[in-house]
Structure 1
Amino acid sequence: LINGYNPFGMNNLSVWAWMFLFGHLIWATGFMFLISWRGYWQELIETLVWAHERTPLANLIRWRDKPVALSIVQARLVGLAHFSVGYILTYAAFVIASTSGKFA
C-alpha cells in the first residue's frame, strides 16, 4: 500500500491504498463513538448549532427543535457499525493489495 503512489506516478495499487485510507477513517470514526462519552457529542452538536446561528445565512432559517445527543446505546450502535465496516474495508484493501502482485 505504501507503493500505491511513488515518484513515477500511480500504479494499480493506488485504488487499494485509497480504500485502505477510507476504511481506516471509517474505523477511526467508529472507535471515537465507542470510547467517547455522551456529553462530548452533545457539546459538539451545540457548538455547531451556535456557530451556524451566528452566520448571516442562518437568519434565513431558524432552528425549531433543539438538537440532542445520541443516547449511550445509540452511540454504541453507531460506533459498532462504523468500527465493523471500517475494519472489513481496511482488512480487505490490505489483503487484496498485498497479494495482487503475486497473481498479476
Structure 2
Amino acid sequence: MEQAWEIAGSLAAYPALADLLGERHRIIANDWQSAGLQALVARLLRRALDLLARVDFSPAALRADLRGERKAPAYLYSASELFDRAADLMAESATLVHENERRWRMFRARVRELQSE
C-alpha cells in the first residue's frame, strides 16, 4: 500500500485525472484500513483458539468442571467474545472493500478513456 500511495501521488502530474485523485487515495486508504482490521481479526482468532485450548472438552472433564470451579464456561464465554468482535471487524472490513467498487469503476473508466485518446 505504501507503493500504491506513492504511485497515486505521482498521478497528480496528469490534469485529466485531477478530479479522481481523491477517489484513488480513498481506495488506498480503505484498503489500508481493511488490512489493519484483518490483522486484528487474526490476532483475536488466535487468542480465542488459545483460550479454547485451555478447555478439556471430554465429557468427563466437562462434568467435573461443572461440579467444581466452572472454568470451562468462563473460557468459552471469553472466546466467544473474541469471535464476536472478530466477526464485527470482518464486516467493517468488507464494507470498506465494498465502498471501493464504485470508485475503482470510475477511476478505471477514466484511465481507459485517456488510453484510447
Give the TM-score taking structure 2 as reference length: 0.46
Question: Which has a greater percent of helix?
Answer: 2
CA root-mean-square deviation: 3.3
Unaligned runs of 5+ in 2: 1-6, 48-79
1:80 aligns to 2:90 (yes or no): yes
Rounded to whole Å, the distance in 2 between the matches of 1:77 and 1:11 is 37
Matched position secondary structure for 1:73? helix
Query: 1:18-97 counterparts in 2 under 5 A?
Result: 18-37=25-44, 71-97=81-107
Unaligned runs of 5+ in 1: 40-69
Runs of 4+ in 1 over 4 A off after TM superposition: none
Rounded to whole Å, the distance in 2 between the matches of 1:36 and 1:83 is 15
Whichever of the two has the greater Rg, that structure is 2
Give the TM-score taking structure 1 as reference length: 0.50
Q: Which amino acid aligns with 1:22?
A: A
Aligned residues: 73
Name the structure 2 match of 1:5: 12
Higher relative contact order (CA 8 A, sep 6+): 1
Give percent identity, aligned residues only: 4
